[in-house]
Amino acid sequence: MRIFLGLFSAFILATPATAQIGMGQWRMHVPASQAVDVAVGNGYVMAALTSGVLEYDIAAAENRVLNNLNALSDIQVTCIEYEPQSQSFFVGYENGNLDQITPNGVINIPAIKLSQVTGNKRINKIVTANGLAYIATGFALVVINPSKNEVKDTYYPTNGNEGINDITFLNDSIYALSDNNLYRGLLTNVFLADPLQWTVDTRVPVPVNAHYGEMAIQQNEIHISYHADAFGSDSVFRLIPTGLDMVIGSAFDMEIEGFQVEDDLFYVYYSDQMVAFNEDMTVNYGVQYYNSTNATPARVRRVGGVAWVADRKLGLVRYLASNNYTYIQQEGPPKNQFFSLNSEKGKMVVTAGTVRRVEQAYNQPNVYTFEEEAWTLYDNLSQPAWQGIQIWDIGSAAINPTDENNMAFAGYSQEPLSMVQDGIVTTVYSPSNSPLEVSSLGNGNTCISSVEYDDDGNLWVVNGYSLQPLKVRMADGTWQGFETGTDSKNVFTGKLAIDYNGNKWFGIYGTGLVGYDDNGTPETTGDDSYRTLTTGEGLGNLPSENVTALAVDFDNEIWIGTEAGFGVLYNSDGIFSGSNYDASRILITYEGNVEYLLGSTSITDIEIDGGNRKWIATASNGIFMLSADGQEVLAEYTKENSPLISNNIMDMEFNQISGELFIITDLGLVSLRVDASFEDETYESTTVFPNPVKPDFFGPITIQGIRYDSDVKITDVAGNLVYKTTSNGGTATWNGKTINGEDVTSGVYLIWTATNTGKSKKVGKVTVIR
């Protein structure tokens, strides 16, 4: 394979997006199926994805994804273009950042992002001409010198009052298009930084209830796209001496997403097809489907008779004819929408909807699973049970611990709960066929804020804005509702957690937390009890009335995150017997002052790793890792000091087998392999990696899938002790050295752990090559 990004190739290949990562390593999960732009040059096709770039080597027919963790400087990609003289691809971002991908590596040009301009800095379009890159931004037109990797000039055609959507060149002039006007400047004018040196082309009238989008040159004439607010009213005009002349109207009765001229063909992108017109505007060919899949093109580049299509739902497509096309596949999440996570036995489920207190988002039903490095999409196209019904905003999911192929998806809609078996939605529940209750807000929808399975396979449901917010669907399909007190009725509810004694805990907005004990008999309510916790001593002592996170640690302590810090219920069982049920807040001494750990930080999630350590996600300060007792901050991860892509954390979840922590941020999904995993009492899944250990590997050797807090010994084949340690949960690490700190020599080394009987048990071996 020809390596285009030589500077980054070693790191990228060491941590590919489709393979498990090593201890302490990060990876970003980029949807390769959502492309917004494409460029071709130097033997490569580069497709701009919503959070990365897909690089395709044409000759080798190999591809990979470049992202913020392995090559690029930023995340939200908006456009891409190739500049031939420097053999560079320019990548633009939502925040104005700019990368120049050269044959020797990636050079960041942050001048636009770092400028003192207030307002929109988004890079809308990149056009290359005369050895320069012209950048259309939300406030100006910026000219980049690729050979010097710097800003050459900045032009202000609109005087900063409007953004520039597109740029083109004709004869002796440069043209800049905004939402409302077309501006012209002479290329020979060295004072184009002065707004007065630009003239408004009066042949292009200010649109009413519409805006202008893109430009292209065909037959020495400027063509402009016109996007009307009214559906199906978009058009493409050509600029003639007397004004605008419509060349393409709304005959297809759909939205025009964009257009361009490539290889003498005039491409128009509609909402669900692409049409290539000849110079006389007769149709050359159209693409509505690739096989039976709808085409949703965003941009095309035609080189050597091959059309490279950036498709908004299918990623990069190599297109030759209606029956001759290739999807350039790369494993990744199906879409760039993430809201919540749940996992069981190495299987991760991700919801792409949202459940909000005030208003609904009406996101289409999308759920993904990630298992054995492969992603699967559940949507209304793949699931017949979802077709023709009112389902949206799926914001919670659960996996049955007795059968990981049995799942539940829940949200806020008219059909709020779906049961899944073996990849198929089998049953959809609503108030018409279950005790689920319609929201008391009167919107006709039913709100389920959280679902969880218990150890017996019963599904517990938190049904907000109802009289009985806590309900259970038993493993046999029967239902039961529970009385949880006046404070929990007809209010928005939050997350649900089930502790090791089977007690249920869920948040209620504006009050705090409800704990429910069904006494081990959920089918019988007469012996049940509940308790409501709120702020104030003797009442629960919560930091805030709005509970946003719940976690149960290995000591059955309840960790409660709120909008203003966190607290811990150390005696969770005691609250049902009437004893003190106040949550405790952890005090620390900082610079001589005693204060609450993390203070009033807004907490969004709390997760427990295999070593019983606490991982606390925040709304604006990244992630904190606390010791098992919570008394010490062991690590802090922010976008400033780690590969974390944003400090706004929405949800987290551990893959219990591997110890990989999946993290949803407002900018996408990343994950970190930590040094702890859940135990495996049977040792059936014990693995050692890397194995063999090659001379160029200097990281920790990981032993995974052993008992909790095992004593681990490394010996040579003769039985001589080489190294010893204690596992962190179900994971232990070896630095490849002896007890004395010396590198071990080449050979085979045996791994032993102490079982629950105290006897040594060989669980694996590893080959070291020096």
Tens digit of pLDDT for each residue in 95-116? 999 999 999 999 999 999 999 9
- Structure confidence at residue 757 (pLDDT): 61
- Structure confidence at residue 586 (pLDDT): 95
* Last residue in a domain, options 139, 155, 171: 155
Give Cβ neighbours of residue 586 (< 8 Å, ≥ 6 apart). Answer: 568, 596, 597, 630, 631
DSSP class of residue 10? H
- Is residue 768 packed enough to be buried (19+ CB in 10 Å), middle (13-18) or exposed (0-12)? buried
* Last residue in a domain, options 100, 135, 155: 155
Q: What b/e string do you get for 644-653 counting C-beta neighbours within 10 Å, with b at 16 or more?
A: bbbbbbbbbb
Number of domains in the chain: 2
Low-confidence winner among 127-136, 262-271, 335-344, 373-382 (lowest mean pLDDT): 262-271
- Structure confidence at residue 291 (pLDDT): 65
- 701 lies in a domain? yes
- Structure confidence at residue 322 (pLDDT): 67
Low-confidence winner among 7-11, 593-597, 666-670 (lowest mean pLDDT): 7-11
Give Cβ neighbours of residue 449 (< 8 Å, ≥ 6 apart). Answer: 355, 395, 396, 412, 462, 464, 492, 493, 494, 495, 496, 506
Q: What is the DSSP string of 68-133?
A: TTTT-S-S-EEEEEEETTTTEEEEEETTS-EEEEETTEEEE--HHHHSS--S---EEEEEEETTEE
Cβ atoms of 608 and 558 closer than 8 Å: no
- Is residue 589 packed enough to be buried (19+ CB in 10 Å), middle (13-18) or exposed (0-12)? exposed
**Is it the case that residue 10 has pLDDT exceeding 70?**
no
- Structure confidence at residue 250 (pLDDT): 66
Q: In whole numbers, what is the pLDDT of the chain averaged over residues?
A: 92
pLDDT digits (tens, 9 = 90+) for 290-338: 766 778 899 999 988 899 999 998 999 998 876 788 999 899 999 999 9
- 185 lies in a domain? no
DSSP class of residue 288? S
Distance CA 71, CA 93 (A): 14
**Is it the case that residue 688 has pLDDT exceeding 60?**
yes
- Structure confidence at residue 45 (pLDDT): 98
Low-confidence winner among 90-94, 508-512, 759-763 (lowest mean pLDDT): 759-763
- Give the domain CATH number at 697: 2.60.40.1930
Q: What b/e string do you get for 182-206 counting C-beta neighbours within 10 Å, with b at 16 or more?
A: bbbbeeeeeebeebeebeebeebee
Low-confidence winner among 41-55, 471-485, 636-650, 720-734 (lowest mean pLDDT): 720-734
Cβ atoms of 315 and 321 closer than 8 Å: no
Low-confidence winner among 83-92, 240-249, 495-504, 590-599 (lowest mean pLDDT): 590-599
DSSP H stretches of helix in 213-306 = none
- Structure confidence at residue 750 (pLDDT): 95
Report the pLDDT averaged over residues 448-461.
Answer: 98
- Structure confidence at residue 358 (pLDDT): 80
- Structure confidence at residue 16 (pLDDT): 43
Nearest alpha carbon to residue 608 among 679, 685, 515, 681? 679
- Structure confidence at residue 656 (pLDDT): 93
- 498 lies in a domain? no
Alpha-carbon dihedral angle through residues 58, 60, 62, 63, given to the nearest 10 degrees: -40
- Structure confidence at residue 754 (pLDDT): 82
- 222 lies in a domain? no
Report the pLDDT averaged over residues 467-488.
Answer: 98
Report the pLDDT averaged over residues 75-91.
Answer: 98
**Is it the case that residue 436 has pLDDT exceeding 50?**
yes
- Structure confidence at residue 636 (pLDDT): 98
Low-confidence winner among 244-253, 428-437, 578-587 (lowest mean pLDDT): 244-253
Percent of the chain surpassing pLDDT 90: 80
3-state SS, residue 360: coil
- Is residue 323 packed enough to be buried (19+ CB in 10 Å), middle (13-18) or exposed (0-12)? exposed
**Is it the case that residue 3 has pLDDT exceeding 60?**
no
- Structure confidence at residue 593 (pLDDT): 86
What amino acid is encoded at 446 in this protein? Answer: T
Cβ atoms of 393 and 361 closer than 8 Å: yes
Contacts 24+ apart (CB under 8 A), 498-502: 498/452, 498/454, 498/460, 498/552, 499/552, 499/556, 499/558, 499/572, 500/552, 500/556, 501/556, 501/572, 501/573, 502/454, 502/455
**Is it the case that residue 581 has pLDDT exceeding 90?**
no
- Structure confidence at residue 758 (pLDDT): 66
- 704 lies in a domain? yes
- Structure confidence at residue 9 (pLDDT): 34
Give Cβ neighbours of residue 181 (< 8 Å, ≥ 6 apart). Answer: 158, 162, 200, 201, 204, 206, 212
DSSP class of residue 728? B
Cβ atoms of 64 and 10 closer than 8 Å: no
Cβ atoms of 697 and 690 closer than 8 Å: yes
Cβ atoms of 370 and 377 closer than 8 Å: no
Nearest alpha carbon to residue 178 among 513, 621, 195? 195
- Show the domain range for 151: 1-21+35-155
Distance CA 163, CA 119 (A): 10
- Structure confidence at residue 568 (pLDDT): 98
- 396 lies in a domain? no
Nearest alpha carbon to residue 506 among 554, 455, 456, 468? 468
- 496 lies in a domain? no
- Give the domain CATH number at 42: 2.130.10.10
- 249 lies in a domain? no
- Structure confidence at residue 7 (pLDDT): 33
pLDDT digits (tens, 9 = 90+) for 177-217: 999 999 999 999 999 999 999 999 999 999 999 999 999 99
Confidence category of residue 590, pLDDT binned at 50, 70, 90: confident
Low-confidence winner among 130-139, 257-266, 402-411, 593-602 (lowest mean pLDDT): 257-266
**Is it the case that residue 8 has pLDDT exceeding 90?**
no
DSSP class of residue 694? -
- If one counts every other C-beta atom within 10 angstroms of the C-beta of residue 767, the result is 14
* Last residue in a domain, options 135, 155, 175: 155
